Amino acid sequence: MPGLTWPNIVFQQELTVYMGKREVRIIHLGRGHTKGDTIVWLPEEKVMFSGDLVEYGATPYTGDAYHEYWPATLDRLQAMQPQKLVPGRGEALTTPEQCQEAIQGTRDFLNDMYESVKAGKAAGKSLSECYAETYALLKPKYGHWVIFDHCVPFDITRCYDEAGGEYPDPRIWTAERDTAMWHSLQEVVENQ
């Protein structure tokens, strides 16, 4: 792309930099929201910037996610015991209890959704059948979260692709693929 700035610093798992005397660690804890998720960790202050690995009061977008890996990545993130956390979406969390609540809420949403879709696909159900069942399961518990109705079609479609190992890596969301997904789910979406 014209004007694209290429990185001039890269790292494998972790990079530590200092901003004055403040230690700042940039860490790849594993796959989750994407293949290359990173967090920023201030170890002395126990402040974490989680990016979209953690959401708070907002529906995680998982259309490019790794649902099989994300819970374990959250386990590693949680083990760091953040005292404050800035999630990908939602309010900044200022207590350890809020941090744990956000991490657990993200984990619960991911597990509830993926397990439902995985079971449906294993039973031979179509994407639209899995979508209808999983949407009905998720709506009472998470439907009040910001952007729920926007994210869930993409999320469930990615779960369906990933379940059973058909597409271990996310497929590119082209305009054509996006349109095809919406058409395949249109009747279900209209009846929600």
d(CA 185, CA 179): 10
Beta strands in 32-83 (DSSP E): 39-42, 47-55
Closest CA to 39 of 8, 70, 77, 11: 77
Residue-wise pLDDT tens digits, 45-74: 999 999 999 999 999 999 999 999 999 999
Q: Read off the pLDDT of residues 110-131 as tens digits, 9 standing for 90 and up.
A: 999 999 999 999 999 999 999 9
Name the band, by pLDDT with cuts 50, 70 and 90, for residue 1.
low
SS3 readout for 118-183 = HHHHHCCCCHHHHHHHHHHHHHHHHCCCECHHHHHHHHHHHHHHHHHHCCCCCCCCCHHHHHHHHH
- pTM across the whole model: 0.93
Q: How many CB atoms lie within 10 A of CB 14?
A: 12
